[in-house]
Structures are given as structure tokens and as C-alpha cells.
Amino acid sequence: MRKRQISNWLFFLALMASLALVGLWVAGSYLISPMQSFVGAPPSDLPAQAIVFPDASGEPIHGWFVAGTKGQGAVLLLHGVRADRRAMINRARFLHAAGYAVLLIDFQAAGESPGKAITFGYREAEDVKASLRYIHQRLPGEHVGVIGTSMGGAATILAEPDVDADAVVLEQVYPTIQQATEDRLAIHLGPIGPWLAPVLLMTLHAHLDIYPDQLRPIEHIGHLSMPKLLIVGDRDRDTTMAESYAMFHAATGSKQLWVVHGARHVDLYGYVGADYQVRVLDFFNTCLRGK
């Protein structure tokens, strides 16, 4: 009888382990699945032109371009994971009102841009490079800034050394994909979550042919030579304050850190509104316009 009980327990544990592995595989598949949707026309109060330009492989990147005042600079807006250009509309509004030209894009596999998978900044880095080339070709001689939120910030950092920009704003960027995975699993599964991170990360390579070591923005941020403004929330559990401080310390050259008190992993502009405008415009006016 005892042997039978042990056998039943072993079978149960094996079944639970198998179900957990299947669950992690399904979760990994969901996380990288394309988030494409029809974006439609820009809002009526934003005089944007729908544009399409090729990435390095010739695939189309869809976006909106908003003309600005000549000589006043341009800003590239890069959305986070499982979002599209519409997430950056409010930033585009105040930047346009300040005279900046603005480019909002859909990363590959997001919005109206085709793509097979979300890669958490790795292949999106090529979209950053292509977008900056588009701006420089369309607006030769203009100083260019970038605002990248979460994955958009990671893609900007991973695009080095080809980030042809004069200033960057990086919001709530994870230092490594391993830490990002552990943080998110801890939020949803509690103490057991981080123990499952290595298994979930194994699916990253199986699904995308990308190794976790290729998604370590903290090892690249020090190579960005332009002025940097890092914006973080002190209640962010997806990218903790300790991780944000580590990113800031790893950055070199001219850098600023703005800690938004009370903010979790949210749209920081939506959270603080006018203060965000003041901080970001002051940063860009100094770096792009020399004011």
C-alpha cells in the first residue's frame, strides 16, 4: 500500500510539473504574440500625416509624422510592449504645441506594422535605427530627441552604437530580461514566481532564437553618449527602484534621474501630466535648442 501511495504522489508531482511547463510555454507564446490592430486616422487635433517607410530588411514601418517649426528640432516617440503609436498621442500633442516635429511609429508586430513576434527591444532596435534615418532624411540638419517608454526605451538602448540622436528620454526600462521576468512572475505568482523565470526564459530562445544575454540594456546604456533623462516610478514593481538606480549608475556622460513618487509601471505622462511636460520640454529645449 505504501509503495502505491508513493507511486501516486510521484505521478501527481510529475503531472503538476508537466502542466506547469505547458503553462509556461503557453505564457511565453502569448507574451511574444503580435499585437497588431487597425490604428486608423490620427485624432483631429493632431495634424499628423500617415507615413510608411522600410526597416533594414525592407519590411514596412507604419506611423504618423507631425510637422514642426523649422530649426526647432524633432522627437521620435517609441511605445511600450503590447501597445502601438496611439499610446504616445498625448506626448505628441504637447511636443507639437512646443514647435517640435514628431514621429510616432508602430514597432514591428504592433499596430499596423507587420511582424512575427514581439522581441522586447531586441529586433525593435532595428526599427529605432530606421526611424531615426527617416527623420534625418526628411528633416536634414534638425536636432533629434527620442522618448522611449519601457520596451521603447530598451530598444533605443539596444540600438547603440547607431542611435543617431542628440538626447534621449528613457522611461522605466528594465536592466535585463531575466530581472524583468523575475519581477513580473513575482507580481503574479508570489515567492514561487522567480524560481520559474529560468524555465520561461528558455522559451525565449525556443520561440525567438534570442538568448537572455542578448537582452541586457544595462550593459549597453553606458555606450549612449548623448544626454539622457531617465524617468522612473518609485512604486514600480515591474522595474524596481533598485534596478532603475542600477541603470542610472551604469549610464555615463550627461544624465539626469527623475523619480516620480507614487507611480507604478504606468503611463508616466498620464500620471503626472503638467510636471512631465515641464521636465521633458526643459530637457529637450536645453539639449536640442541650446536654451
Q: Whole domain around residue 279: which residue ranges?
A: 33-176+215-289
Q: Is residue 264 in a domain?
A: yes
- Average pLDDT rounded to a whole number, residues 169-175: 98
Q: Is residue 206 in a domain?
A: no
| Predicted confidence (pLDDT) per residue in 9-31, tens digit | 444 444 344 445 555 555 556 77
Q: Domain count for the chain, please give it.
A: 1
- Average pLDDT rounded to a whole number, residues 181-192: 87
The C-alpha torsion from 128 through 129 and 134 to 135, rounded to 10°, is 70
Q: Is residue 70 in a domain?
A: yes
pTM of the model: 0.92
Residue 15: alpha-carbon gap to chain centroid: 37
| Predicted confidence (pLDDT) per residue in 69-82, tens digit | 999 999 999 999 99
- Average pLDDT rounded to a whole number, residues 203-228: 93
What CATH number does residue 171 fall under? Answer: 3.40.50.1820
Q: Where are the alpha helices (DSSP H) in 33-176?
A: 89-97, 124-138, 151-158
Q: Is residue 27 in a domain?
A: no
Task: Say what percent of the chain tops pLDDT 70.
Answer: 90
Would you say residue 5 has pLDDT above 80? no
pLDDT of residue 281: 98
pLDDT of residue 13: 41
Q: Is residue 185 in a domain?
A: no
178 close to 200: Cβ distance less than 8 angstroms? no
What is the C-alpha separation between 206 and 221, in angstroms, rounded?
A: 27
Residue 257: burial class (beta carbons within 10 Å; 0-12, 13-18, 19+) = middle
Average pLDDT, the chain: 90
Q: Is residue 105 in a domain?
A: yes
Q: Is residue 205 in a domain?
A: no
What is the C-alpha separation between 87 and 171, in angstroms, rounded?
A: 14
Query: Quick one: how many helices (H) and strands (E) in the chain?
Result: 9, 10
Q: Is residue 17 in a domain?
A: no
